[in-house]
Amino acid sequence: MSDYKIPVVAGLATAVVATLVLVGGESAVAESGADTVEYTSMSPEALAEYLIFDARGFDLDQEIQEGGTVRQRLVQDELQKTCSALHGARAEGDTASRVIVMAREAIIYPEGGIKLGDWKKGEALARSGFGFRVGHKTDDHSGREPGGNCYACHQLDPDEIAYGTLGPSLTAYGKTRGTGEAMLKYTYEVIYSPHSYFPCTKMPRFGANGFLTQEQIADIMAYVMHPESPVNQ
């Protein structure tokens, strides 16, 4: 689950352009009432804006799992606006500091302190990409809990061959770092609100945005940190 929203995601704009078919080298056009829109004369960003918001290529009024509508989900918060303004550049100086402050202000700690949960439950969460999808096939959270989709970006279990590489490998994470109080706090904060350490990272704010509960975060922490977890074998 990405932490980035429109306006306008460059990747989405690219995908929108890629779906247009140009026949015989002629310009692609669309009829919109009395207006004719020439797709090929528009920038990818403008085209994405047009297809999503003006041509209503998406149902922006569809209800979403956390309450509200797709349109409301697409509204960026201040942290997202700050990072989007960088257009992919590294956050540095005052910008990085401002993002870190906003990220840290969003962290809520467990009342009983930060503890490891059930690593077996954490493994299931790490492997699951279910949750928060909308469109023609909307994820129903009433019958199945959302996952963390950790393997989409990280290597964890050394015997698993299917994993993404957008993030660093977490194999032997607990074995090499231990489970001391400082490391528990650091790991919880990175999962809950990763911009607090990595400003403008592509990692979702799992806790701050309500993607995962504190209990689920504890279970995922156990999966990457507990000495009996396959991650640390």
Q: Is residue 84 very low, low, confident or very high in pLDDT (cuts 50, 70, 90)?
A: very high
Residues 84 and 47 in one domain: no
Any domain includes 70: no
Is residue 92 located within the same domain as residue 204? yes
Query: Which CATH number characterizes residue 123's domain?
Result: 1.10.760.10
Q: What is the pTM of this model?
A: 0.82
42 assigned to some structural domain: yes
pLDDT the model gives residue 8: 42
Is residue 62 a part of any domain in this protein? no
Which of 65, 98, 95, 74 shows the shortest CA–CA distance to 2? 74
Same domain? For 48 and 85 the reply is no
Q: How confident is the model at residue 3 (pLDDT cuts 50, 70, 90)?
A: low
Same domain for 87 and 31:
no
137 plus 216 within the same structural domain: yes
Q: Which residues contact 92 (CB under 8 A, 6 or more apart)?
A: none
- Whether residue 67 lies inside any domain: the answer is no
| Three-state secondary structure of the chain | CCCCCCCCCHHHHHHHHHCCCCCCCCCCEEEECCEEEEHHHCCHHHHHHHHHHHCCCCCCCCECCCCCEHHHHCCCCHHHHHHHCCCCCCCCHHHHHHHHHHHHHCCCCCCCCCCCCCHHHHHHHHHCCCCCCCCCCCCCCCCCCCCCCHHHCCCCCCCCCCCCCCCCCCCCHHHHHCCCHHHHHHHHHHHHCHHHCCCCCCCCCCCCCCCCCHHHHHHHHHHHHCCCCHHHC
Residue type, 93: G
Residue 52 is assigned to a structural domain of this protein: yes
- Per-residue model confidence (pLDDT) at position 37: 76
With a cut of 60, say whether residue 1 has pLDDT above it. no
Same domain, 100 and 160: yes
Decide if pLDDT at 40 tops 90: no
Burial label, 113 (beta-carbon count in 10 A; 0-12, 13-18, 19+):
exposed
Are 110 and 225 members of one domain? Answer: yes
Per-residue confidence (pLDDT) for residue 122, from 0 to 100 = 98
On whether both 45 and 14 belong to a single domain, the answer is yes
Residue 32: inside a domain, yes or no? yes
Q: How many domains does the chain have?
A: 2
Structural domain including 48 reads: 10-57
Mean pLDDT calculated for residue range 104-126: 98
Question: Residue 20: its pLDDT value, please?
Answer: 45
Same domain for 82 and 183?
yes
A 10 A CB-CB count for 132 gives 18
Q: Is residue 65 part of a domain?
A: no
126 shares a domain with 37: no
Domain identity same for 51 and 143: no
**CB of 129 closer than 8 Å to CB of 152:** yes
**3 in any annotated domain:** no
**One domain for residues 176 and 217:** yes
Asked whether 218 and 110 are in contact (CB, 8 A), the reply is yes
> CB-based burial of residue 177 (10 Å sphere; 0-12 exposed, 13-18 middle, 19+ buried)?
middle
Tell me: the pLDDT tens digits for 142-201? 999 999 999 999 999 999 999 999 999 999 999 999 999 999 999 999 999 999 999 999
Q: Which of 138, 168, 142, 136 is nearest to 155 (CA)?
A: 168
pLDDT above 70: percentage of residues in the chain: 85
Which pLDDT belongs to residue 13?
52
